[in-house]
Structure 1
Amino acid sequence: MLRVVLERAVGDLTLPASVRIVAAANPPEQAADGWDLPAPLANRLIHLDWTVSAASVADGFTGGFSTPSLEGYGVCADVDRTRALVGAFLRVRPEPVLNVPDGPARAWPSPRTWEPAAIALAHTIKAPDEVRAELVTGAVGEAAGYELLSWLRDLNLPDPETLLAGPGTPRCPPAWTECTPCSARSSHTSPPAGTSPASARTASHGRSRLATRLTAERAGVLRALSSFTTDPL
């Protein structure tokens, strides 16, 4: 099976480029002589769990099985951009670039599986969050996948200057699904009139720490996206 997935060949037949490889199996504990996929083969697939719903089966038999809607999938599928975001994430979080399991495993992170994770992000920008999470974690595993998704959510943080200015609703920049994230900026403006020296020092220190954190998190994004802009893949 590894040759089918890796070389796209079955015996002497080479599969056309239009063929998509999909594998289905029962869990090893529910299959006759079942076994876990070897790590090299598992690393070439996106793993999805399928739960049988009694209600959907009953509805299908009584009214017919409907074709799933693909609305929201593939919309604005800018794979180059999501690859740049994944690259920026791996620049600031290098640990999950490669994590080879000791034995048989399902999804696990490697340079190979971060590619379908980036493709999944690009094709699910307008899809529900749970669909995006299923595909990303199915490619690189739950630990690495949820870390990436959490990091992408953190890109949509309020500007530190607005956050520290006082009461009110902080204005957040557009989410990563809407525009290129911008770097946080450190501010050296004077505090509002009437601010005590101690409060000004505390606010300045908090502003500096927050801006430093945001800048460190987003610096990789800017480098990746700017290099992509000037030198497309």
Structure 2
Amino acid sequence: MKIASWNVNSLNVRLPHLEQWLATSSPDIVALQETKLEDEKFPDDPLIAMGYRSVFAGQKTYNGVAVLSRERATDVQIGVPGFEDEQKRVLAATVGDLRIVNLYVVNGQSVGSDKYAYKLRWLDAVHDWLAQELVTHPRMIVLGDFNIAPDDRDVHDPVVWNDGHILTSRAERDALQRLYSLGLHDAYRALNPEESQFSWWDYRQGGFRRNLGLRIDLTLVSEALRPHTAASGIDREPRTWDRPSDHAPAWVELK
């Protein structure tokens, strides 16, 4: 079974890319972030025609998350219970015997800003919620755009992307480690301990052409799924297409 995550950076713009990628890669489950669509505008029909059912939580212009699956999803949760937030960043659903948690983590703007403080509070709330979810759903995959590069192997230049920089600050990385401590494992890093592949490249300054990227799109598998994790990677090809998202799909295969 192949499960993927992709920040499409506007599904309205990137729907043809998504359709092309679904046709060629044939994932069983896909978590999307930054759909940037109100729910009534979600392109349900063309995705059904391709064999995918969708659950989604969107808003105009910003944020928005969705889960596409060949098998109908159930037990859908939108947002983090008990955490007041109008931004559509969290969507959990059960597909078969898997609990899928789709996260579009707060960017944080800059270290020390109000948005940075909000990001850390948000991550604390996610941690506490996932701790409870794992008790009920031990076969869990937490995936999405984490807006955190786990360590220096996941940045093109550790001097630039240092402990004082947004997306690589110590507090952000510590928050990610707290999620790992719940029994979640970075599938890509577990299977590719020495490789440095990226999932995001800035549109500016020839970021993709020069491979000035970060790996911030993660697929985390629970302890129960770790023995079943067969492969994990990042598909760079969609980033080469015309008018691409600035992110590439990250994926994991379970046996």
Instruction: Settle same-fold status: TM greater than 0.5.
Output: no
Q: Which entry has the higher C-alpha Rg, 1 or 2?
A: 1
TM-score scaled by structure 2?
0.20
